Amino acid sequence: MRILILGAGGIGGYFGAQLQSVGGDVTFLVRPERANNLRASGLYVSSMLGDIHVRPRVITAIENPGDTFDLIILACKAYDFDLALESISPAIGGNSVLLPLLNGVAHLDALDALFGRERVLGGVAHLAVTLSPSGEIKHLNGINRLLIGSRCTPCSTQVSTLAKLLFFTSVDFVISSHIEQDMWDKFIFLCTLAGATCTLRATIGDILRTVSGESFVTGLLEECIQVATVHQRIPNPEQLLVYRNQLSEQGSDSTASMLRDIERGGPIEAEHTIGDMVRRADASGINVPLLKLSYSHLQAYEMTRQRHAH
């Protein structure tokens, strides 16, 4: 199975390195600067679960429209989504399927409209990684869970083929029969985590020590659950308990990757995540004051960032 991974940042680089290290036929589609870095130094993953160093096959564009791939993994940031769609279109053949690993759920409708629901898998990555200035991917803890699943029946053959490869890696993977619900569950968690840590610019542990931090976190979570419930996406009780425990862990150093983007002055995925949750709430007539406060904070950051950039 030929695999194309759009992006070799934290998510794409980590899972791509895992797949290539066990013999996967992987090609990375990246920007020229990243391509030069990978050609010079290779793709290096530093992890407590085991370091990986591979020499990746990299391209900066699909030059031959007939050069199609069986599985195309989208591991870009949401703000690059439109450009990503243009980049991968020539690589899609008659039997190609797409596996988006973006945060949130808003991208599914766009992908379905362009390529058909039967071609678009669902995916959820639970992975804390960051890209060092030298291009090394640093795995920040011991969690590297990947949920994949077909959103149509019968299940795409690429799902089982990918699972066979992942079996030989250190990735904790699951083939899910309810992948869209899994995506919504993470959507709820992410909006809560990002809403809290980005608004207060602190870890969950520090937030919980403040005078109203705990109520802020739990309030965000309950607002997200309300929105999901209206959309017939009532959270899985077991997964929700896991998320609640993560969001209430005293001393936790957990933050959203969006906060790390803010701290380096970069663009953020606010529109695709918290903004999307707010718009869904407004469309359903649900009052979400804490989510709107967080969204306003992120909008203000983005406006300030863009103004200073010009």
Q: Model confidence over 207-262: pLDDT tens digits?
A: 999 999 999 999 999 999 999 999 999 999 999 999 999 999 999 999 998 999 99
Q: Which residue bears the tokens 């989504």?
A: 81
pLDDT of residue 252: 94
Asked whether the beta carbons of 183 and 120 are under 8 A apart, the reply is no
Asked if residue 77 has pLDDT above 90, the reply is no
Asked if residue 176 has pLDDT above 80, the reply is yes
- Distance (Å, whole) CA 269 – CA 26: 27
Nearest one of 33, 91, 32 to 62, comparing CA atoms: 91
pLDDT band, residue 67 (cuts 50/70/90): confident
pLDDT band, residue 86 (cuts 50/70/90): confident
- Distance (Å, whole) CA 86 – CA 109: 16
In this prediction, residues 168-175 reach a mean pLDDT of 93
Chain mean pLDDT for the chain:
93
Q: Which CATH number fits domain 181-309: 1.10.1040.10, 2.160.10.10, 1.10.300.10, 3.20.20.140?
A: 1.10.1040.10
Enumerate the CATH 3.40.50.720 domain ranges in the chain, comma separated: 2-177
pLDDT of residue 117: 92
- Distance (Å, whole) CA 220 – CA 290: 6
pLDDT of residue 308: 86
pLDDT of residue 217: 98
In this prediction, residues 82-94 reach a mean pLDDT of 89
25-29 and 2-6 beta bridge pairing: parallel
pLDDT of residue 129: 87
Using CA of residue 166, residue 26, residue 111, residue 223, what is the dihedral sign?
positive
Asked whether the beta carbons of 283 and 221 are under 8 A apart, the reply is no
Q: DSSP H helical segments within the chain, as ranges?
A: 10-21, 32-41, 81-88, 106-115, 157-166, 179-200, 204-208, 213-230, 237-247, 257-263, 274-284, 289-309
- Distance (Å, whole) CA 90 – CA 86: 8
- Distance (Å, whole) CA 57 – CA 170: 21
pTM for the full predicted model: 0.92
Asked whether the beta carbons of 60 and 31 are under 8 A apart, the reply is yes
Counting every residue, how long is the chain?
310
pLDDT greater at residue 121 or residue 67: 121
To which CATH superfamily is domain 2-177 assigned? NAD(P)-binding Rossmann-like Domain (3.40.50.720)
Which pair of tokens denotes residue 170?
Answer: 């250190």
Enumerate the CATH 1.10.1040.10 domain ranges in the chain, comma separated: 181-309
Asked if residue 65 has pLDDT above 80, the reply is no
